[in-house]
């Protein structure tokens, strides 16, 4: 979805990917940012928090009427219907990120 948003063009691809992974781990309650993830990504959890919040905001307040191709594609069973996952509540996400 960030491919459709100009604001994310200035982010490094590795940081964007790491932030997406952290948000996904948080949304699915699969644990936090481990030392292994920190080592191989080169990012500490705190470095990713602002971008994770922006990504969750993008999921929460996205325009529903335009650019539906990505949402439609990832709503399919082949992609585990990840586009149908409910975004996290911003306050809950903030609490979880503070504990990381």
The structural domains of the chain, with segments of one domain joined by +, span 2-99
Q: From CA 85, how far away is CA 9, in angstroms rounded?
A: 24
Q: What is the CATH number of domain 2-99?
A: 1.10.472.10
Mean per-residue pLDDT of the chain = 89
Q: What's the pLDDT score for residue 83?
A: 82
Q: What's the pLDDT score for residue 11?
A: 95
- Minimum mean pLDDT range among 7-11, 35-39, 71-75: 71-75
Share of the chain above pLDDT 70, in %: 94
What's the whole-number mean pLDDT along residues 1-26?
92
| Backbone phi and psi for residue 85, each to the nearest 5 degrees, phi listed first | -70, 135
Taking the CA atoms of 36, 38, 40 and 41 in sequence, report the sign of the dihedral they define.
positive
* Secondary structure of residue 13 in the 3-state scheme: helix
What's the whole-number mean pLDDT along residues 17-31?
92
Q: How confident is the model at residue 65 (pLDDT cuts 50, 70, 90)?
A: low
Q: What's the pLDDT score for residue 63?
A: 63
What Cα–Cα distance (Å) separates residue 14 from each residue in 19, 20, 83? 9, 10, 22
């Amino acid at each position: 979805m960030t491919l459709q948003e100009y604001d994310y063009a200035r982010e490094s691809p590795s940081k964007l990917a790491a932030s997406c992974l952290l948000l996904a781990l948080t949304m699915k309650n699969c644990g936090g940012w481990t030392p292994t993830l920190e080592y191989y990504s080169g990012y500490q959890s705190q470095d990713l928090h602002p971008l994770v919040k922006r990504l969750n905001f993008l999921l929460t307040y996205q325009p529903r009427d335009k650019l539906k191709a990505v949402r439609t594609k990832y709503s399919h069973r082949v992609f585990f219907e990840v586009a149908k996952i409910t975004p996290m509540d911003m306050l809950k996400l903030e609490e979880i990120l503070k504990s990381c």
